[in-house]
Chains A and B, each alone.
Chain A
Amino acid sequence: GAVVSQHPSWVICKSGTSVKIECRSLDFQATTMFWYRQFPKQSLMLMATSNEGSKATYEQGVEKDKFLINHASLTLSTLTVTSAHPEDSSFYICSAPGGGGAVADTQYFGPGTRLTVL
C-alpha cells in the first residue's frame, strides 16, 4: 500500500520558536495532502488541505498565519507552527488520499509528529 512518512516523529521546542514538520508520500504522488491535529483521547481534527501549486485551504478556526503550509512538490508538504506556545502541543498527523473522484477516498496516514512546546 501507499506509504506516507513524517519527520520528525517527536519535537520539543521552546515557546516562541517555530517548528517545521514534513510529510512525504514515498511511493506515490499527492497533489493534495491533509493536516490533522489530534488531542489526547479525541478524534482527528482536520486543520487544512494542502494543495500542490496553490494555497492551502484552512478549516474554520485554524489560524493560517500560525500554521503555515507549503506543498513544495508532488511528494512533500510541510507544516510550520510559528511562534509556538504550550497550547500548540499536540499530535500532528498528515495524510494523502489514495484515489480521485468527487468524494474523498481512502486516506493514507503518516505516523504523526508529537510536538511539545515548553
Chain B
Amino acid sequence: AQSVSQHNHHVILSEAASLELGCNYSYGGTVNLFWYVQYPGQHLQLLLKYFSGDPLVKGIKGFEAEFIKSKFSFNLRKPSVQWSDTAEYFCAVGTGGFKTIFGAGTRLFVKA
C-alpha cells in the first residue's frame, strides 16, 4: 500500500540550530513530492515541491529538500531555524489519479 513515513513526531530546537526532517515514501510509480506547513491557527500551505529535474529543491523561508530516488526519501532541511518556524510540517506524495498521501506530520517547536 502507498504510504508516507515521517521519522519524527516532535522536534524541539533552539533558534539558529539546523533542522532536518526525514520523509520516506512507498510508491512504485511516478510521484510528485511536497512539503506542506501548518502554522498555528493557519491553513496548510505549500512549503516546496519536487516534480522533476534538480533533486535539490528550494522553497520559501529558506527551506530546501532533497529527493533521493534510490532511498525513496525527500528530507526537509533548513540551516538555521527561527522561532517563527514553529509549526507542523507534513511530507506528502502526489500519485496518479490526483491523490495526495500525507505523512503523519512533525511538530517543530523552536525555542527563542
Q: Which A residues are within 8 Å of any B CB, using their own CB?
A: 32, 34, 36, 41-44, 46, 49, 93, 95, 97, 102-107, 109-112
Do most interface residues of chain A lie in helix, strand or loop, or is the interface mixed? strand
Mask: chain B, 47-90; 1 = CB below 8 Å from A; 0 = not:
00100000000000000000000000000000000000000001
- Determine if A46 and B30 form an interchain contact, defined as CB atoms under 8 angstroms apart: no
Of the residues A97, A106, A111, contact of B43 by C-beta under 8 Å:
A111
B100 touches A34 (CB 8 A): yes
Does A43 lie within 8 Å of B103, measured CB to CB?
yes
| Cα-based distance from A32 to B100 in the complex (angstroms) | 13
- B contact residues around A111 at 8 Å (CB): 42-43
Q: Residues of B contacting A95 with CB < 8 Å?
A: 44, 100
Give the chain A neighbours of B9 by CB distance below 8 A.
41
Q: How long is the Cα–Cα vector from A49 to B97 in the complex, in angstroms?
A: 10
- In this complex, the member of A42, A44, A93, A110 whose beta carbon has the largest number of chain B beta carbons within 10 angstroms is A44
Partner of A102, one of B34, B43, B96: B96
Whole-angstrom CA separation of A96 from B44 in the bound complex: 12
Given A42-B104, A43-B104, A102-B30, CB of A49 within 8 Å of CB of B46: no
> B94 touching A103 by the CB < 8 A rule?
yes
Q: Place the interface of chain B in its size category.
A: 20 to 34
Q: In the bound complex, what is the Cα–Cα distance between A110 and B6 (angstroms)? A: 23
Q: A93-B44, A112-B43 are in contact. Are A107 and B99 (CB under 8 A)?
A: no
Q: Evaluate contact between A107 and B100: CB separation under 8 angstroms.
A: yes
Q: Given A34-B100, A46-B100, do A105 and B32 touch, yes or no (CB 8 Å)? A: yes
The docked-state distance in angstroms from the alpha carbon of A26 to that of B103 is 27
Q: Is the CB of A104 within 8 A of B100?
A: yes
Is B31 in contact with chain A by the CB < 8 A criterion?
Answer: yes
Nearest-neighbour CB distance to chain B for A90, whole angstroms, equals: 15
Q: How far is the CB of A69 from chain B (nearest CB, A)?
A: 15
Complex contact B43–A43 (CB within 8 A): no
Q: Which residues of B contact A97 (CB under 8 A)?
A: 98
Q: Is B45 an interface residue (CB 8 A)?
A: yes
Within the complex, the shortest CB–CB distance from B5 to chain A, in Å, comes to 11
Chain B residue numbers with a CB within 8 Å of A112 are 43
